[in-house]
Structure 1
Amino acid sequence: MDLDLAGKRALVTGSNSGIGKGIAQVLAGEGCTVAIHGRDHARCEDAVAEIVAAGGKAVSATGDLASEAGCAGVAASLHDQLGGIDILVNNAGGRASSHRNDGVERPENPGWLETPWADWVWTYEQNVGAAVRLIQSYVPGMKERGWGRVINIASAAATQTEPDLADYAAAKAAMVNLTSSLAKTLAHTGITVNTISPGAVETPSLRRSFTDLAARLGWDSEDWDEIERRMTRELIPIAADRFGRPEDIGRMVALLASPLSAYMTGANYRVDGGQCRSIN
């Protein structure tokens, strides 16, 4: 199916690796000119080179979106390179305990009561703060052109809560909420706003984490296929019998970005292989 995306300009934040990179590659394959973003310039350029080698079009922009200055720098760079953005995919995020680099040692998954407020603020800025700044930067141009797409990447944790993961789950829940509000605000403008909530997606970091977990559990296997099979049946039950792949998320992004999806707005779409146990 031709999704009618040729010539559209798309910014995918946090796209020099993992889910974001998979999203960017799918959009480039559909004819978009994709802006690769990250905090590591070399990795961004490598991701751009991969897309170009595959026949796509891409540019890069480097900056920390958790600050006003970082967002302004990314926006200025892309204005110079592309003139504007038609499709904004707010994928950058993370959790303080996994990504903060302030010299303070903290457990990888601190408990609810042990997560300091500074970590809550960091996580919120990286997820919600970054999204809001870019929405406020790019949506006015979309309104002037009478067309645009905002796609926020949340998480299964946003609607199916588990013990702990307190700061991350709350920030992702805020992403789902702000999507609904923004969609109503942008009624009659030609802009749609949606959320995608991925389940567990196989990225290099997930593979490392679950391979280490399998070893701690005493599983007698270092074979990833066997680890994935046992994880998705015994620890994280997933009806699809596997973890997601970045391109699974990318395909849903491409669908929501397409002009063919103009009647889809203000919604949260789960792409989780049946991981969530609730009906919504």
Structure 2
Amino acid sequence: MDLELEGKRALVTGSSSGIGAAIARLLAAEGAKVMFHGRDEAKTRAVAQSIVDAGGEADFVMGALNEEADCARVASAVIERFGGVDILVNNAGGMAASSRPDTTAESFNRPWLETPWDDWRWTYEQNVGSSVRLIQALAPGMIERGWGRIINISSASATQTEPDLADYQPAKAAITNMTSGLAKSLAGTGVTVNTVTPGTIATEGVRAGFVEWANQLGWTELDWPTIERRFTHEVIPQPIKHFGRPEDIARMVAFIASPQASYMTGSNYRVDGGQCRSIN
């Protein structure tokens, strides 16, 4: 299927690795001109250069999106270099604990009652604040041109909560809710707004975390196929007995970003192997 993305301009935040990099690569492979974004300049430059080396069009921009000034700088850079965007993928996320260099496995997921408000603030700024600011900066251009796609990346934990993760789960729930309201606000403009909700995606970092977890559980076989099989059967049961891959999310995003998805807005599309137990 031709997704008709040739010449479309896209910004994918948090695209120096993992899910974001997979999304940006696929959009570029479909002919889009892609702005990569990250915090690590070497990684972000390298992944953007790989697209250029393959004959695609790409650039990169740096910024810590939990800061208002960095959001403004990223938006300005995209407008200056690309003349605006047709597709905005708000993928950058994370939680406060992951941003601290001294975080240990024990302190990563603090008990709910011990999670300080500063962590809540950082996580909301990184997930919700960055999305809001980039939308407000880049959506007016989409509206003026009469076409655009805004895709917000949420999390299975937005609707199926687990103990603790106090700051992260509500922030992702806000992303899902925000999408629905914004889609209604942009009715008739030619701009659609949707959420894509990943389940457990086996990025490099996630795999490392599961290997450590398996070790803590006393498992003796620590090869990835065994770990993945045991977790999806015993610890995080789900109908599909393997975790997702970044490309699974990328394929959904690319379709929603395309003109083929013109009748899809205000919705939350789960790509989670059936992990969420609710219907929606």
> When the two structures are superposed, what TM-score results if normalisation uses the length of structure 2?
0.97
Higher mean displacement: 59-68 or 122-131 = 59-68
3-state DSSP of counterpart to 1:107: helix
Deviation, 1:97, is 1.2
Q: Aligned residue for 2:259? A: 259
CA spacing shift, 1:264–1:104, aligned 2, 3 Å: closer
Letter in structure 2 aligned against 1:182: L
CA-to-partner distance for each residue in 1:129-175, whole Å, 9 max, x for gaps?
00000000000000000000000000000011111111100000000
Q: Aligned residue for 1:17? A: 17
Letter in structure 2 aligned against 1:51: I
Counterpart CA distance in 2 for 1:39 and 1:73 is 13
Deviation, 1:53, is 2.9
Counterpart CA distance in 2 for 1:239 and 1:56 is 37
Q: Aligned residue for 1:217? A: 217
Higher mean displacement: 106-115 or 35-44 = 106-115
Counterpart CA distance in 1 for 2:35 and 2:103 is 33
Counterpart CA distance in 2 for 1:242 and 1:31 is 31
Alignment of 1:166-177 (within 5 A): 166-177=166-177
Letter in structure 2 aligned against 1:126: Q
Letter in structure 2 aligned against 1:125: E
Q: Aligned residue for 1:230? A: 230
Q: Aligned residue for 1:196? A: 196
Alignment of 1:1-280 (within 5 A): 1-101=1-101, 107-280=107-280
Letter in structure 2 aligned against 1:40: D
Deviation, 1:104, is 7.8
Counterpart CA distance in 1 for 2:236 and 2:74 is 37
Q: Sequence identity, in percent?
A: 62
Q: CA RMSD in A?
A: 1.2
Counterpart CA distance in 1 for 2:198 and 2:141 is 28
Deviation, 1:78, is 1.5
Deviation, 1:237, is 1.2
Deviation, 1:54, is 3.1
Letter in structure 2 aligned against 1:52: V
CA-to-partner distance for each residue in 1:219-243, whole Å, 9 max, x for gaps?
1112111111111111111211111
Counterpart CA distance in 1 for 2:277 and 2:46 is 38
CA spacing shift, 1:186–1:53, aligned 2, 3 Å: same
Counterpart CA distance in 1 for 2:269 and 2:55 is 30
Higher mean displacement: 61-70 or 179-188 = 61-70
Counterpart CA distance in 1 for 2:206 and 2:242 is 13
Q: 2:97–2:103: 8 Å Cα contact kept in structure 1?
A: no
Higher mean displacement: 66-75 or 117-126 = 66-75
> When the two structures are superposed, what TM-score results if normalisation uses the length of structure 1?
0.97
For structure 1, the residue ranges without an aligned partner over 5 or more in a row are none
